[in-house]
């Protein structure tokens, strides 16, 4: 066990791993926040003597949590974002001190909205430490020998602040995505979506503050999660809601202005891992030349290219009892039942994130600018 996880940080990591294993914490938003807080504790408790050792401790903690809930890409995505912050802050200290952090953060975030992750973390650093950072800049990337080098304490403090700002950003991610909703949805439009997503709910309600439009919600059997979204949107006076069975989406698609999806994960090639039924809607949208828009924060973008090859397999790992109840025991024994959890959707016209709107082809660049990618 690494030194960073020898005390309270170890107990926090173990408790979070147990919660992830039992799915007491699930969903990319909640998972990303919990992982961010756990990694902040790891960094705070670390006694690493170099950037490489701290990198190894963070990566080991992230992999342990990922093993606890294998089907959640947000765990390693958040870990890789923290590693990106680590190397960015170390580079800033090595190249001129904490005063340059805001400029580097703006470049790494992909846009002005995402620059807060470590920009203000460096800006709020103790000004008395700047001279020490300049003196020890040669040691920032290599030796961090505790009491002998003030750069060690500065790097650790800056990284803790940067992770805290990342967690704060994740807490309000839906509001950030929804702030420009009125620029994408206009009065009189008919929007189609499926299932329940808090991101979709916040986005549509934000647009409804200045627009009046209709939302068609596919009920998404067998979970019927669409009912929850329909009830939530129906309470808004500017939104007309129509709840329809999944089989009706193709017939209604000619009337639809936009298809809005909230993917569980955005793959590195720009494809979406979205709730089961999304591929059907995307196929109908493509046939009728209807734009497909995806809503996803940066924490839902996975830098793991292995998921691209495994996407079709991941899409079929659901509980067959949801489709064919076990009380039909004779039929269950004679049939192979596939219950998809996720669909791999390769048709997407626009990706709306907390750092702006991008084409799916821009996803590799977002990964390069915001994640640490292992060589």
CATH class of domain segment(s) 175-370: alpha beta
Q: Which two tokens stand for residue 217?
A: 């919600």
Rounded to the nearest angstrom, the gap between the alpha carbon of residue 305 and the centroid of all alpha carbons in its chain is 16
pLDDT tens-digit map of 163-217: 999 999 999 999 999 998 999 999 999 999 999 999 999 999 999 999 999 999 9
Topology annotation, domain 3-171: 1.20.120
Closest CA to 55 of 375, 304, 346: 375
CA dist 85 and 90 (Å) reads: 8
pTM, two decimal places: 0.80
CA-based Rg of the chain, rounded to a whole angstrom?
Answer: 23
Q: What is the pLDDT of residue 264?
A: 93
In the block, tokens 């129906």 appear at 234
pLDDT tens by residue, 113-144: 333 333 333 333 343 444 444 444 344 444 44
- CA of 137: how far to CAs of 56, 73, 85, 134, 367, in Å? 21, 35, 17, 5, 27
Element (H, E) at 231: helix 226-234
CB 290 within 8 A of CB 324: no
Domain-by-domain residue ranges, the chain? Answer: 3-171, 175-370
């Amino acid at each position: 066990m690494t030194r960073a996880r020898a005390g309270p940080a170890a107990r926090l990591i173990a408790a979070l791993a147990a919660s992830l294993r039992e799915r007491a914490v699930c969903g990319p938003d909640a998972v990303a926040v919990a992982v961010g807080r756990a990694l902040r504790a790891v960094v705070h408790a670390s006694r690493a003597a170099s950037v490489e050792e701290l990198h190894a401790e963070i990566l080991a903690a992230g992999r342990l949590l990922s093993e606890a809930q294998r089907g959640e890409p947000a765990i390693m995505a958040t870990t890789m974002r923290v590693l990106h912050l680590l190397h960015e802050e170390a580079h800033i200290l090595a190249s001129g001190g904490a005063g340059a952090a805001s400029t580097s953060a703006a470049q790494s975030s992909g846009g002005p909205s995402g620059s807060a992750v470590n920009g203000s973390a460096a800006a709020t650093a103790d000004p008395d430490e700047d001279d020490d950072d300049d003196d020890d800049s040669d040691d920032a990337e290599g030796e961090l020998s505790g009491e002998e080098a003030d750069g060690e304490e500065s790097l650790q403090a800056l990284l803790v602040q940067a992770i805290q700002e990342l967690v704060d950003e994740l807490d309000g991610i839906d509001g950030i995505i929804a702030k420009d909703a009125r620029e994408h949805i206009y009065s009189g439009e008919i929007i189609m979506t499926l299932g329940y997503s808090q991101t979709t709910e916040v986005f549509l309600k934000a647009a409804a503050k200045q627009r009046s439009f209709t939302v068609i919600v596919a009920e998404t059997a067998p979970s019927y999660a669409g009912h929850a979204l329909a009830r939530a949107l129906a309470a808004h006076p500017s939104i007309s809601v129509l709840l329809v069975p999944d089989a009706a989406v193709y017939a209604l698609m000619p009337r639809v202005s936009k298809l809005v999806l909230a993917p569980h994960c955005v793959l590195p090639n720009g494809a979406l891992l979205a709730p089961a039924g999304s591929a059907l809607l995307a196929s109908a949208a493509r046939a009728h030349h209807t734009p497909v828009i995806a809503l996803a924060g940066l924490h839902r973008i996975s830098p793991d290219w292995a998921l691209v090859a495994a996407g079709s397999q991941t899409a079929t790992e659901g509980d067959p009892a949801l489709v064919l109840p076990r009380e039909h025991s004779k039929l269950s024994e004679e049939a192979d039942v596939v219950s998809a959890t996720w669909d791999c959707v390769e048709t997407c016209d626009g990706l709306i994130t907390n750092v702006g709107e991008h084409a799916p082809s821009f996803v590799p660049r977002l990964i390069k600018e915001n994640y640490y990618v292992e060589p």
